[in-house]
Structure 1
């Protein structure tokens, strides 16, 4: 599976997981000039911006969670600000979560939800 297909599959699995947890879907791959947010959900009164990261091999580039560096965090926060402004939701509480998906050959993917990751 190529990198793009792997990422799309990870986002699909993350979305299914969050829906099963009772989160309310708001947007997928929301884009603006400053970047993209993979998934946006509502968890009761909190708007949750979710960055999805996947890996099939951790020895080459490190783990999925390690790939969320300070630059990526700033980019996601800035994009979230634009979303909140455009949707007139700036008064809402927000949270930034990460979902990592580790694909392990023929085994089921391992999904981990990092609440308030940054």
Structure 2
């Protein structure tokens, strides 16, 4: 692994740590982190008030809010939804939960340090 990809990976992990801390402070229970299938990965899976939340975490220190829409392109959304369906098939205890897809954007100029977008997208 190159040094650059290593530092990107480390920044991603630190961002996910911060996002988890934020979610816990907001009353969420973290169920899984970096849940993977062959087809994709979900950064954080959390639960609050019978709502199962699949969270995509993005760290953007040099981005602006107009770049936000490009963060979760349609292909990325489809991959997350497909991966979420795999999670639900394997974890039937959540089958009666409401489902939501959120994003947490970290360190973007002009936004709070952890900017939580509930219902960032739907299936």
User: Given the two structures, how large is their TM-score scaled by the length of structure 2?
Assistant: 0.82
- Across the two proteins, how many residue pairs are aligned to each other? 112
Flag structure 2 segments of 5+ consecutive residues without an equivalent: none
Equivalent residue in structure 1 for 2:91, among 87, 92, 95:
87
More helix by share: 2
The 3-state SS of whatever aligns with 2:96 is coil
Flag structure 1 segments of 5+ consecutive residues without an equivalent: none
Shift of 1:34: 1.6
Relative to structure 1, the CA distance from residue 20 to residue 99 in structure 2 (aligned partners, 3 Å threshold; closer, same or farther) is same
User: Given the two structures, how large is their TM-score scaled by the length of structure 1?
Assistant: 0.85
Q: Superposition pairs for residues 1-118 of structure 1, below 5 Å?
A: 2-58=7-63, 63-64=67-68, 66-88=70-92, 89-102=94-107, 110-118=113-121
Provide the alpha-carbon RMSD of the alignment: 2.0
